[in-house]
Chain A
Amino acid sequence: MMRSQNEIRSTCVKAARGAGHSSGLADDLAAAALWLCQNHFDGIGVLLAELRMEAKQANYQHIGGILQLDGASAGCVAVCAVDGLLSGMVQQAELKSVSNPLMVLGVLGTASHDHNCAIKVDGWAEVNCGQVVSVGDTPPADECVVRLAETRASQKATAAVSQIDIEDHRWSVLEAFAARTYVPATAQSRAAGAGAGLTDND
């Protein structure tokens, strides 16, 4: 079914929170999923793979300008990698046990848009100011190295205005994750809602 981009993003945020991610990280994962959808990748499928993994923080260490990250889902380690690279803390980030590399691409794509920079995954993909420069056919199987690349003058990608077709079964799973953040209604909560306690036949 066709979904609006705002619908996709807001549902992804709730789904990521429902999967146990903090609100700040949920925003990043949702932005990455939408960026993937806008660039004709299966952003929802990629996000769902991310959400099925345990939400936990990455293990990290940095030695000699290299940041090593593992122990968490691809989105989580990619967010850390971006922070490390953009802060100047390290020159490259090594991501271990990456089973969902397209999520890494989504995070890098969003970051390159927000920060007007270029980032690449050695031997696989490069993004520049929110646009895909190149993506190889074979994503990294387990590990990848991420680093900043030379930023080129580029007109920023503007979000496509058209809606995006999301398979219904995927959307249902996404909504199920989102529903974990909803509170069951009670008589007390219903009574305190807007419009309560007044006749509307006036």
Chain B
Amino acid sequence: MTEQDPVNSVFPQAELRSPSEVMRLRRMGAFFPTRLSFMRILMRGLAEQAPTVRQTVWDMDGSGFGQAVLSIDYCGHTYSLVAFTNALDAGSRTDRVIAEAWDATFVLFDGIPSEADLKRNRDNAPKQEGGRFSDRELVLSRANKSVRFFEHTVDALARGVQPDAEMVQDIGYLMRTTAVYGNGKFGIADRSLVVNRPGVSGPFQIEMLTVWLIRHFSHALVEHVARMRLPSTAVPLARNLKRHLGIGNSTGLGMAPFLVNHPVLLNNWMMVRETALARARASGSIDVERARQLSLRVTRHLSEWNVPDDNQTAKIAQLRQDWAELNASNDWIDADLPWETFFQRSKVYGLECQELAVAFLIEQNGTLIDGLADCLGSDFSPRIDATVSCTALKAQIEEIAAWALEPDFEDKMQTAQFWYVSEEKLEPRLGGRFEEPGAELESPLDIARQIKNLYEGLGASVSVAEFLMAHPEHRNAVRRVQTLSKFPYAEIQDNLIAQDCLPIDMLRAKLSLFGASKFDPKSDRWTRITLYQGAPLADELGMEDADDWWLPCFVP
């Protein structure tokens, strides 16, 4: 054991796992949510304050079409979810980015909207990318109903009975978002507006607040429609079912470029995660009963994780077996360093089991690690240090970016794909370089190739300043390498244009950082997930166990 200090720690910690071990696509594609995931951080903050969600506007017809405003006072600011719902033809209901209409559209408004604000948003929110917004709008989102389940739930509640528990368990949401836009998109407020606000200053906190309020709205909407259908017999959703109903989400390639385009943020998220693991491993303290209960919860959660995708199904089956074997003996709890012992034992199993063990350790050491949430953000802009020599830069690449030098980019397999932005709603896509047009317009996500080209082009005797005057095309690669030298987890250490690059791995990594679970891949480039399943409801924020919803299980 060593004591390191990557984030000004005063806690003992084990040696961090190296970036070369962690920052690989296959491992990132096996990540699980942790207590440092963005949703968990938000909910801990909300639970501390236990604010009330108020329905300040509820102007819905009997079919649930109309407008609503849900407001919440949190850490000195009022935020309002403004919701618009409308009838939608089945033929128009698609989760694709290229969709033009949705069952529901939302903005998170900064404050309480006036009638004029409502009208402005009513005119623009349903258009989504086609609308224009102001810096009073913090987040823009849209969602589609899970149509059959929504109608089933309305029908059941109206008749005075609860929806089918098996459907609740299997589907897990009434609505799924198809986009959640923040940080200045389409004229909404820049992140700088909220970056210093308590409670929402961390990465994606304002977006996660929006999704949690959308979940609350979806519960209220289904109860409203049931009540309007048969007022005399309608009943509200049972609390246990409501708690299991999160918000679905379809996530595609748009998430993947974010990880590449924000290297310092990626570093911080991973550094925090790895530091949390290192602190947990060094801890000699364990609540044996809590560990036993959580282990059982994991087993049950895995049994409830069933998806149609054959590949993921096979991974889940292996994971169930690995987890059972890893937990077959509990003698590790008597070790001087029980978590380290458990962690070391997990290493012989598959990546899914290894990363589940990581999240398991983190979950049970909150007092050591929850403060790390303050280290997730960054306002640092990558920059070039022109003072170094090309010789030094070359040595630096060999030391920290050898992974970029490994692929043979003359081999077509290593350049088989290219990332690009489609003119269709500017959707990020991935194409086949040798089968599809547009490779000459590819987005610069080919980091490994850029670094290797830089390495091969570096002269020996001049400064980086002079080198870049002669070779400005290497400017991005120089910046990436120099950023990596300061932020060791800043790069995914794989070739992102290789034939075997699977974007789903990047999506799962990022979604796990958000706090999603029960990944349901629909191809190697998009997945469905559920957000906030098992999370506290608005009237449960003050409960003692409000933070205890990691890997939730259905409660019949």
Contacts and interface: CB of A to CB of B under 8 A. Distances in A.
Given A27-B476, A115-B383, A196-B96, A182 B421 contact: yes
Interface in B124-165: 132, 134-135, 144, 146-149
Contacts, number: 196
Nearest to B388: A87
A7 B523 CA distance: 31
A3 B187 contact: yes
B97 A195 contact: yes
A115 B468 CA distance: 18
A31 B429 contact: no
A103 to B, nearest CB: 15
Given A6-B183, A183-B421, A183-B438, A193 B252 contact: yes
Interface stretch (B7-15, B35-43, B188-196, B491-499): B188-196
Interface stretch (A46-54, A76-84, A121-129): A76-84
A161 B465 contact: no
Given A22-B473, A24-B479, A194-B525, A186 B437 contact: yes
Contact of A83 (B90, B147, B193, B386): B386
Nearest to A17: B444
Interface in A47-64: 57-58, 60, 62
B422 A194 contact: no
Interface residues of A, number: 59
Given A87-B387, A161-B135, A186-B436, A194 B465 contact: no
B396 interface: no
B90 A201 contact: yes
A14 B421 CA distance: 10
Contacts of B95: 194-195, 198, 200
A125 B375 CA distance: 38
Nearest to A196: B96
Contacts of B184: 4-7
A61 B37 CA distance: 52
A94 interface: no
A62 B244 CA distance: 68
Contacts of B116: none
B178 A195 contact: yes
B265 interface: no
B220 interface: no
A15 to B, nearest CB: 13
Nearest to B255: A194
Contacts of A194: 95-97, 250-254, 427, 525-526
B187 A195 contact: no
Contacts of A188: 435-436
Interface of B: 90, 93-98, 132, 134-135, 144, 146-149, 178, 183-193, 250-254, 381, 383-384, 386-387, 420-424, 426-427, 429-431, 435-438, 441, 443-444, 463-466, 468-470, 472-479, 522-523, 525-526
Interface of A: 1-7, 14, 17, 22-25, 27-28, 31, 57-58, 60, 62, 69, 76, 79-80, 82-84, 86-89, 114-115, 158-159, 161-163, 179-186, 188-190, 192-198, 200-202
A-B complex: 10 closest residue pairs judged by Cβ atoms: A194-B252, A24-B475, A4-B184, A6-B184, A183-B438, A24-B476, A194-B526, A87-B465, A83-B465, A87-B386
7 contacts: A4-B185, A5-B184, A60-B466, A80-B465, A189-B431, A193-B429, A198-B522
